[in-house]
Structures are given as structure tokens and as C-alpha cells.
Amino acid sequence: MKYRATTPDGDYSFGFGNASFVTDAEAVRQAIGTKLKMFKGEFWEDLKDGLPFFEQVAGNFDKNVADMTIRSRILDTPHVSGIQYFRSQISTDRKYSMTASVNTDFGAVSVGVS
């Protein structure tokens, strides 16, 4: 798998030739991150793609629904073969965060949302 590299701020990297791309496990890790940050209806080429945050998570905030929705997005990423570890929490100010270890065709990767 080959994927355009992202900067620490989450923007795509351009102008560095092959250094603007990552492969294998790192490519899958970045693809998962992109899938978790993109809201449903945000991608103009496929308005059905994206995390259904406003449809399923916001408003009727249920940690189990949020977990299930995020797990589904992770498992729907190409080259993901399973989730080894998944932990999430909601802080007192209702901030959701999660960390996971994901099995890929290229080895395990760690991902998180905060």
C-alpha cells in the first residue's frame, strides 16, 4: 500500500517526490487516521463516505455507539485485518478519546483519537 504522507498537523505532504509518500504499515496507519477525521458528506467524490459523527454520535452521545462506529471505520480500512486492543474514555467535559492497536497486512500499528 502506498499513501500520501501527512504532516504532524494532518495536512497532506507535497513537493518532496517519493518522500511525500509512505508505504505498508505506516500507510495503513495514516489511512485509518484520515478515515477517523473525515465526517460523512465531507468528501465531494463520495458523500456517503466518512465518519457518521453527526448522524450517530453527537447529540445522543452514547460511548458504546461511538466505540462501535469508530471500530467499524477502522475495520473498513484497506489492509486492516483486525483490532488487537481498543480502549476509549469520556472525560468529565464530555471529550471522547481512544487508542487502539490495529493488525494490518504489514504488522501492527497504533492509532488514536483525542
Q: Domain tally for the chain? A: 1
Residue 40: which domain range?
2-113
What letter does residue 54 receive in the DSSP assignment? I
Of 34-38, 52-56, 78-82, the least confident:
52-56
What pLDDT sits at residue 33?
92
Is the pLDDT reported for residue 62 higher than 90?
no
Is the pLDDT reported for residue 61 higher than 90?
no
80-90 and 2-4 beta bridge pairing: unpaired
* CATH label of the domain that carries residue 92: 3.10.450.40
- What Rg, from alpha-carbon coordinates, does the chain have? 15
Cβ-based burial of 9 (10 A; exposed 0-12, middle 13-18, buried ≥19): exposed
- Cβ–Cβ < 8 Å for 73, 86: no
Distance separating alpha carbons of residues 70 and 46, to the nearest angstrom: 19
Distance separating alpha carbons of residues 113 and 34, to the nearest angstrom: 11
- Cβ–Cβ < 8 Å for 65, 52: no
Q: Could you tell me which residue, 10 or 81, shows the higher pLDDT?
A: 81
Sequence-separated (6 or more) residues with CB below 8 Å from residue 22:
2, 3, 4, 5, 30
- Note the pLDDT tens digit of each residue in 63-89: 899 999 999 999 999 999 999 999 999
